[in-house]
């Protein structure tokens, strides 16, 4: 029971998503998730603090990687270039979870508690990116605008990517969206 | 008791805001709000369905006016021009409530239920603007991007406006922010 399970986290996530989809998030217990994954409750709590965080595992890493991309952009990079780099970083994370993305979105939409949690994570991501952009020399307002714009493009591209019948890569969809946004604002 | 109170809505709003600020939103009852306003509970319910909606009264009107501004933009208007027109429409609404804007923001931040409600209103506004932009000939993705961009500029400008020691008009702050966003995206 206490021994190392090489793919325990992934099994627990898959089991949780499946149960939330079948029975509803509220109605599913940690014991049921563990049982479906063939693991114990104790193992569950080694990986996740609660059943909600199963859905948000990876969001800290997403934030770190998007911030790191802004920090690592070349000195010559424009603000839009930094946003593009952050979106490319997000693409890598999203492709890893494509399989669950549509179901996860549906589960989150079903619960006010989960929607609230998702929005808090999004606000944290925007704040972290704005901070990173300030450190790269952006003024306060420009940093906020750019960070929100990055979140906007990510959100619009994500919605398109999840439903895309051609399963185009997130990176391509996000880059196209960023280019489209540029066109819109340039044509003012 | 049942007679017409010319400024009842404004009095109820002022009383509610004051009480939410003093005691907390959760702890305040409709009876207390009515009493503070010198009115009855029955009068309260003639103006608001519940104590939460006191904080969101006017958001439908804001949405209608921003959508109407997009619809009324000249045929030659660019997408950015339509966003600008929608922001100008918002400016008129915001200036009317400047007095309460900072307190209202603090109260909403204090309650998950209120934050959730605010985000639902924001999502509704974005969806309505995107729909209006589609009717003006925007493609699906461009309409979503433009509507979110409008919300982004509104949000960033609002935060600046609420805290602005010089009390600059919202319209000016929003126009400056839109111009800055344009610079950011043009410099890509």
Give the 3-state DSSP-derived string for chain A, with helices as H, strands as E and coil as C: CCCCCCCHHHHHHHHHHHHHHHHCCCCCCHHHHHHHHCCCHHHHHHHCCCCCCCCCCCHHHHHHHHHHHHHHCCCCCCHHHHHHHHHHHHHHHHHHCHHHHHHHHHHHHCCHHHHHHHHHHHHHHHHHHHHHHHHCCCCHHHHHHHHHHHHHHHHHHHHHHHHCCCCCCHHHHHHHHHHHHHHHHHCC
Dihedral angle over CA of A108, A114, A116, A120, nearest 10: -90
Half-sphere exposure of B175 (CA within 13 A, CB side): 10
Single pTM value for the model: 0.87
Comparing alpha-carbon positions, the chain B residue that sits nearest to A81 is: B188
Report helix, strand or coil for B48.
coil
The set of residues, in sequence order, having a beta carbon less than 8 Å from that of A132 and lying 6+ positions away, is A67, A70, A71
Comparing alpha-carbon positions, the chain B residue that sits nearest to A85 is: B188
ipTM given for this complex:
0.84
Report helix, strand or coil for B180.
helix
Output the pLDDT for position B32. Answer: 97
Lowest mean pLDDT among A78-92, A111-125, A163-177: A111-125
Q: Is the CB of residue B187 less than 8 Å away from at least one CB of chain A?
A: yes
> What per-residue string of b and e applies to A60-86 under the rule 16 or more CB within 10 Å gives b?
eebbeebbebbeebeeebebbebbbbb
List of chain B residues with pLDDT < 50:
1
Output the pLDDT for position B1. Answer: 47
Q: Which of B95, B88, B105, B94 is nearest to B17 (CA)?
A: B105
> What are the tens digits of pLDDT across the range B34-79?
999 999 999 999 999 999 999 998 899 999 999 999 999 999 999 9
Query: Which chain A residues are within 8 Å of B142, Cβ to Cβ?
Result: 180, 183-184
Percent of chain A with pLDDT over 90: 80
Output the pLDDT for position B113. Answer: 85
Q: Is the CB of residue A155 less than 8 Å away from at least one CB of chain B?
A: yes
Q: Is the CB of residue A184 less than 8 Å away from at least one CB of chain B?
A: yes
CB pairs under 8 A between A and B: 96
Instruction: Report, as an integer, the average pLDDT of A46-61.
Output: 93
Tokens of B127: 């969806």
| Whether B50 contacts B85, CB under 8 Å | no
Q: Is the CB of residue B159 less than 8 Å away from at least one CB of chain A?
A: yes
Q: Is the CB of residue B97 less than 8 Å away from at least one CB of chain A?
A: no
Above 50 in pLDDT, residue A1?
no
Q: Report the residue from A146, A148, A186 with minimal CB separation from B186.
A: A186
Instruction: Report, as an integer, the average pLDDT of A97-111.
Output: 91
Comparing alpha-carbon positions, the chain B residue that sits nearest to A84 is: B188
Half-sphere exposure of B53 (CA within 13 A, CB side): 9
Instruction: Give the integer Cα–Cα distance in Å for B12 and B17.
Output: 9
* Average pLDDT along chain A: 92
Q: Is the CB of residue B153 less than 8 Å away from at least one CB of chain A?
A: yes
Output the pLDDT for position B116. Answer: 82
Cβ of A80 and B185 within 8 Å?
yes
pLDDT band at A135; cut points 50, 70, 90: very high
Give CA separation, A84 vs A60, A67, A78, in Å: 19, 12, 10
Output the pLDDT for position B186. Answer: 82
Output the pLDDT for position A117. Answer: 87
Report helix, strand or coil for B51.
coil
Above 80 in pLDDT, residue A188?
no
């Amino acid at each position: 029971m206490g021994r190392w399970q090489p793919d325990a986290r992934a099994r627990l996530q898959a089991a949780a998503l499946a149960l939330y989809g079948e029975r509803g998030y509220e109605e599913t217990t940690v014991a049921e998730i563990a049982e479906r994954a063939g693991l114990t409750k104790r193992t569950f709590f080694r990986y996740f603090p609660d059943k909600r965080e199963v859905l948000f595992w990876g969001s800290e890493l997403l934030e770190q990687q998007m911030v790191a991309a802004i920090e690592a952009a070349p000195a010559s990079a424009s603000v839009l270039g930094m946003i593009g780099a952050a979106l490319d970083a997000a693409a890598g994370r999203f492709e890893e979870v494509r399989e669950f993305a549509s179901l996860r979105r549906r589960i989150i939409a079903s619960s006010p508690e989960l929607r609230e949690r998702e929005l808090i994570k999004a606000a944290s991501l925007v704040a972290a990116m704005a901070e990173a952009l300030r450190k790269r020399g952006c003024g306060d307002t420009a940093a906020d605008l750019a960070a929100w714009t990055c979140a906007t493009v990510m959100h619009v591209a994500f919605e398109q990517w999840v439903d895309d019948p051609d399963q185009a890569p997130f990176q391509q969809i996000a880059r196209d969206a960023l280019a489209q946004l540029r066109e819109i604002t340039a044509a003012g």
